[in-house]
Amino acid sequence: MTKTHKNAIRQKGITPIVDYAYLNLIDLRDPDYNTNARLNVYILEEEGQKYLLPQILNHKNIKNTFVIIALDMQEPWTFMEDLDRWISVLQDMMAELRLSLNELEEMKSNVMQYMSQMDGGQVHEGLLKTNLGIPLMVMVNKSDILERDDKGKDWDQKAEIIQFCLRQFCVNYGATLLFTSVKQKINIKVMYEYVLHRLYNMPFETSQHKNLSDFESLFIPLGQDDINIIKSTFTKLANSVIKYEESVPIVQLKKNLVKEELTVEDDQEFFTKLKEKSSQAPATRPILPIQRVVEQPVQQIPPADQPTSARGTQQSQQLKDFYDKIMTGRNDQQVEQIQQAHQQLQERLRQRTVTEIQTTTTAARQTPLFNQSDQQKMQRILKK
């Protein structure tokens, strides 16, 4: 699940479907072993798509589901509003599944049992006040959004407030907190291994990966944080009343300006307009390039035993094919002129009943069908 924009749940051009992806599974105990298995990933872009969840989740597969609420560090002022909105979606989803009390208690018990294993049975104040019965992670993307020269005292204060509020939220709902950056490859592998750990009980060294100090690579698994730890880390903030929206106002970052949202035209409207344009366009036929160089067809020598009438028929067919080739791609006026010349030559052929054949020492050669004057006339027509 990703963040949504207030009052922009169903923007024009947004297709109301759930995006799908998958992760290839690797057995972390034996990475060389090919499992040939995949982990399904369903992505909701907007809160308005929650009505599609019953098509994906049911009372059986919900027990093997891991939920990630993805936030964008490019817009940190929306964090708490987004978290409240998506938690509400999860609560509505659990209610619609109509799980029995035994099934719901079993799911909550599994979350409590995992937490006890991670913290060694210690009592944590304020931890898991609201147990949804689902493994939950809050993942903050683009943790490297600000360059070093953009970080002054003002940013340090905002970073503390962001971290303080996010950690309080995660403690309350028993969620793991993770900061990631694809560009800098921060915690990408950690996220993958942790998801496999929670879903398939794969080995995971929590003490080796957890990070409670570095803002850009923050990673606090379930059971590694509580209210007392947060208060001791942020003493000043713990003793003051914080209004998140006022403390982290909307700003434009210096080097990474907030990009303007583009409204994409709906597919159906696009194809409708395209159809209207195509129907209004005048019908045209393709114009083929005019051949400037006309090659005279090679005259084949008929066999000696072929009748004279058959030879004349063969010549007529060759001449017809030749002119058909010439007329390809001409306009109406050019075609009419060539047809007239064609008719004149056909008349000349009908008057000539006998073809004279001159025999040489090497081969027999036919007498030209039209004289030099006819050839010059054809050249003038073709040049047009």
132-181 confidence digits (pLDDT tens): 999 999 999 999 886 544 555 577 788 899 999 999 999 999 999 999 99
Residue 69 phi/psi, 5-degree rounding, is -100, 115
- Which structure tokens are listed for 228? 């007392």
> Tokens 């006026």 belong to which residue?
333
Question: What letter would DSSP give residue 181?
Answer: B
| 123 or 266: which leads in pLDDT | 266
Instruction: Specify burial of residue 18 (Cβ count, 10 A radius: 0-12, 13-18, 19+).
Output: middle
Determine the average pLDDT of the residues in 85-110.
Answer: 93
Q: pLDDT (tens digit, 9 = 90+) per residue, 24-70?
A: 888 877 877 777 788 999 999 888 888 888 889 998 899 999 999 99
Average pLDDT taken over every residue of the chain: 77
CA distance 355 to 349: 10
Determine how many CB atoms are found less than 10 A away from the CB of residue 42.
16
Question: Which pTM was predicted?
Answer: 0.62
Q: Among residues of the chain, what percentage have pLDDT more than 90?
A: 34
Q: Are 200 and 190 in contact (CB under 8 A)?
A: no
Distance of CA 110 to the CA centre of its chain: 37
Helix (H) and strand (E) counts in the chain: 12, 8
Name, in order, each residue with C-beta under 8 angstroms of 131's C-beta and a sequence gap of 6 or more: 108, 111, 112, 174
